[in-house]
Structure 1
Amino acid sequence: MGMKYVAAYLMAVLAGNDSPSAADLKKILGSVEAEYDEAIAEKLVSELAGKTVHEIVKEGKEKIKAFGGSGGGGAAPTAGAGGAAPAGGAAKAEKKVVVEEEEEEDVDFDLFG
């Protein structure tokens, strides 16, 4: 299911519509000229019928906790992490660029007066 349908559903709820219909989703998606599939919208609306957004979010949080243990994903490895030293055994020194700040000049006019 496309996330744009879920986003449109949540936007409708945030706008005050506690039970958006497929027509509401079509109107929201049409306003940004997004493609619309009636079957997907109807499926989403039928699956969420009778539930509040707060219940759905709470259920989702519980599923995430159960799935990952801690609920967070691992960090992506950095470039060169765990790799061997470059040829010659010497680590490549990083070049540091020093940027000198220009001194502010005294200006003889007042911007607001």
Structure 2
Amino acid sequence: MRYVAAYLLAALAGNDAPKAKDLKKILESVGIEADDTRMAKVISELNGKSINEVIAQGNGKLASMPAGGAVAAAVATSAAVGSGGAAAPAAEEKKEEKKDESEEGSDDDMGFGLFD
């Protein structure tokens, strides 16, 4: 992933066809030692392709993947739209969080000092 990120950074900087030395320079600037074989693989796969087209293709592939969190959020949203009392559970949840925080503060010391 780091090689793809370096390639994208080089492309964002205006370099339409980044080379291995460009990626190596970017990676070394943040303290990452570059693996020449992986870097060559990324460059060969992306060589001659428009970054915008590659990203658009990737977005299309990601859209077709099921994601548990997104489904749960969609179900929760649709349930909230269908029922008028959806705001009440959210308010209760916030109250519980505040209560937990105040309890944590009182238990921190418990009457014992670290250096007593």
TM-score by length of 1: 0.59
**Structure 2: gaps spanning 5 or more residues:** 73-94, 103-116
1:33 Cα deviation (Å)? Answer: 1.7
The equivalent position to 1:32 in structure 2, one of 30, 33, 39, is: 30
Q: Which amino acid aligns with 2:69?
A: G
Alpha-carbon distance between aligned partners in 1 of 2:68 and 2:55, rounded to the nearest angstrom: 19
Equivalence for 1:45: 43
Q: Which has the higher helix share?
A: 2
Match of 2:65 in 1: 67
How many residue pairs were aligned? 76
RMSD after superposition: 2.3
> How much does 1:73 deviate?
4.2
Moved runs in structure 1, 4+ residues, more than 4 A? Answer: none
Unaligned runs of 5+ in 1: 78-92, 98-113
The separation in 2 between residues aligned to 1:73 and 1:28, in whole angstroms, is: 35
Aligned to 1:83: none
Aligned residue identity for 1:23: K
TM-score by length of 2: 0.58
Structure ID, larger Rg:
1
Alignment-derived partner of residue 10 in structure 2: 12
What percentage of aligned pairs have identical amino acids?
51
Counterpart residue number, 1:100 = none
Superimposed CA distance per residue, residues 21-55 of structure 1 (whole angstroms, 9 cap, x where no aligned partner): 11110111111121210000000000001101101
Between the aligned partners of 2:41 and 2:22, the Cα distance in structure 1 is: 14
Could you say what secondary structure the match of 1:6 adopts? helix
Question: Partner letter of residue 21 of structure 2?
Answer: A
